[in-house]
């Protein structure tokens, strides 16, 4: 791996506008389960949710048609209040502080990049760190749903207080998507980490990259078409790789 780390360091040294595009694998080293792996959220069997698909439990249909079921699942599976950033998050924050990294584009909803100190983060699937009333739009802190004693948390206006997460059946947040595409379009190096590039439309955003260097850091091989760019793939733990490369 030493040779590839040296190459990644070289890429970083030559770059001025790095963008990091990350998925669930970035947060698994913090103990946050991913979705589709053997031990992922979709393969965790809980008798209380038998008969429900994970996609339905995380959908707008479930939220509004069976809100008690939605919030029970949400509180059990997506509470990251006590989860801390890992080496990958901190390395990216340092890279931004050094003036090398211009943006993090993340498919994750856990807010760990911001906890680690990253400033420019485009959360294209939203975040559990923000909540709002579905009726009047009043904003609530990230821990409100997890600490509420109500089975279905409600605003003073009577509306359901929901997470600012893009659920199945909803459109991705326009501002985050535009910001992500703009950042990727202007990057000279794109680092892709902890994702299989199988989740769409998010994975399609990398086609906007026009820079010179692409780095893929993932435990398993990730097919990626990078026409005209140098490609470096490292199939190791992302926290270890980024720490070694940045430091």
DSSP 53-65: -HHHHTBHHHHHH
Q: What is the mean pLDDT of residues 97-101?
A: 98
Annotated catalytic residue 125: yes
- Provide the whole-model pTM: 0.93
Q: Which CATH class is domain 41-79+133-165?
A: alpha beta
Q: Which contacts qualify for 5-14: CB closer than 8 Å, 24 or more apart?
A: 5/234, 5/241, 5/244, 5/245, 7/232, 8/215, 8/232, 8/234, 8/241, 8/245, 9/245, 11/189, 11/213, 11/215, 11/230, 11/232, 12/95, 12/100, 12/189, 12/245, 12/246, 14/189, 14/213
pLDDT tens-digit series, residues 38-92:
555 656 657 678 889 989 999 999 999 999 999 999 999 999 889 999 999 999 9
Domain ranges of the chain: 2-31+84-125+169-246, 41-79+133-165
Angle at 108 between CA 107 and CA 114, to 5 degrees: 115
Q: What is the pLDDT of residues 203-233, one digit of tens each?
A: 899 999 999 999 999 999 988 877 778 999 9
| Residue that is written with structure tokens 């929901």 in the block | 162
CATH placement of domain 2-31+84-125+169-246: 3.40.50.1220
Sign of CA dihedral 126, 130, 133, 136: negative
pLDDT over 90 percentage in the chain: 81
- Given the residues 45, 125, 144, 221, the one annotated as active site: 125
Contact 122, 105 (CB under 8 A): yes
- The residue-averaged pLDDT of 148-161 equals 97
Sign of CA dihedral 79, 82, 83, 85: positive
Burial of residue 204 (CB within 10 Å: 0-12, 13-18, 19+) is exposed
């Amino acid at each position: 791996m030493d040779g590839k780390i040296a190459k990644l360091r070289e890429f970083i040294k030559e770059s001025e506008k790095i963008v990091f595009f990350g998925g669930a694998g970035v947060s698994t080293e913090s103990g946050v389960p991913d979705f589709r792996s053997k031990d992922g959220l979709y393969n965790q069997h809980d008798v209380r949710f038998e008969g429900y698909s994970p996609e339905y439990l995380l959908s707008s249909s479930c939220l509004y048609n069976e809100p008690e079921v939605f919030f029970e699942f949400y509180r059990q599976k997506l509470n990251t209040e006590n989860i801390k950033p890992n080496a990958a998050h901190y390395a990216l924050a340092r890279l931004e502080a050094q003036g090398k990294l211009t943006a993090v584009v993340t498919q994750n909803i856990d807010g760990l990049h911001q906890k680690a100190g990253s400033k420019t983060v485009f959360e294209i699937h939203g975040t559990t760190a923000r909540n709002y009333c579905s009726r009047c739009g009043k904003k609530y802190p990230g821990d409100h749903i997890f600490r509420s004693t109500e089975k279905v948390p409600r605003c003073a206006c009577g509306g359901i207080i929901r997470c600012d997460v893009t659920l199945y059946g909803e459109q991705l947040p326009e501002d985050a998507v535009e910001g992500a595409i703009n950042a990727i379009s202007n990057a000279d190096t794109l680092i892709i980490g902890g994702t299989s590039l199988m989740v769409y439309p998010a994975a399609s955003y990398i086609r906007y990259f026009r820079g010179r260097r692409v780095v893929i850091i993932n435990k398993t091989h990730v097919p990626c078409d990078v026409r005209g760019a140098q490609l470096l793939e490292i199939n190791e733990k992302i926290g270890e790789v980024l720490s070694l490369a940045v430091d």
